[in-house]
Amino acid sequence: MTAQASIRIGTRASLLARTQTGWVAERITRCGHAVTIETVTTTGDERGEVPVTRIGGDGVFVRELEAALLSGRIDAAVHSLKDLPTAPTEGLALACVPARALPFDVFVSRRHASLAALPPGAVVGTSSIRRALQVQALRGDVEVRGIRGNVDSRLRKLDADEYDGLVLAGAGLQRLGLEGRITEVLRPEAFWPAVAQGALVVQTRIDDTVTRQAIAPLDDPETHAAVVAERSFLAALAGGCLAPIGAWARWNDSGSLTLDGCVLEAAGGSVRRIVAGASARSDDTPEMLGRAVAEQLRAAGADAMLAAARAMHQAALRDEDRG
């Protein structure tokens, strides 16, 4: 392999992003390669108190990193894979997916042992439509209130009693060494995580064989296959990372890959959901598995549910603009 002075890795500015990138950089260094880290400010970070749905939706945390890659400013970018749109970016490759951390959402509270233990009228903070709908489905008597900001700023708001509890990605707390803040792990089928939640990805230019070979040892094939199935499922439903869609792919004891998926919809004051799942056959690819589960949900009415969710979101934005 041709020698490279240093692999330049781009990261977002948040503490979690820098921690995740540092973890990747350390492992590349262990493989004998020099690494430098460059911070790239993204639109999502610059407008940290504005709801993501109002600043462009999919890709708000990755566009500037991708632009830096394409321009040659950096050689690799580390992303939380759940933030990455399913549509590929021309010239770029998802070169490496390290082993996955906790794929589930978690409930965090200072005073209450679980989501079920919250008193009526309690305030739960989340920035995700998917999470909000699932909280409402489980606890229709609590208030779900939006919250933006990085993990540390959200925890400060909880500690200041602005919220009675939060729903966050468990992997972020794990990677920051904050597992002790987790009150309850929220698992399927009661609570579905986002597609590719808990997984990192290292993105490179397609033609940069030097960097791609350097990071190849970090790839975890089982995690990589699982998240490919989940992202194929999401793409087949034409859903973005902000859609009320959940999924979880995992390897079972027989050595086959199983994928379950869920679509949610607010309907008449309640929350409707449909769930489907399948296991890969010996000749199935992860992409085929994802499409198969998506087709089951489409047959059960997923397209109409997602269209209703999009219409409801657009109506809410119009109401905010009028206000």
**Active-site positions?**
83
Of residues 67, 69, 23, 61, the one with CA closest to residue 45? 61
Q: Within the chain, what is the greatest distance between any pair of CA atoms? A: 63
Edge to edge, the sheet with strand 123-125 lists 143-145, 123-125, 165-169, 105-108, 184-186
E strand or H helix at 9, and its extent?
Answer: strand 7-11
Phi and psi of 48, rounded to 5°?
-65, -20
> CB–CB of 28/218 below 8 Å?
yes
- Residue 135's SS3 state is helix
Contact (CB, 8 A) for 149 and 48? yes
Helices (H), the chain: 15-30, 43-46, 63-71, 129-138, 151-159, 170-175, 209-215, 221-236, 286-299, 302-322
The pair of structure tokens assigned to 318 is 């119009």
* E runs forming strands in 208-313: 245-251, 257-267, 270-279
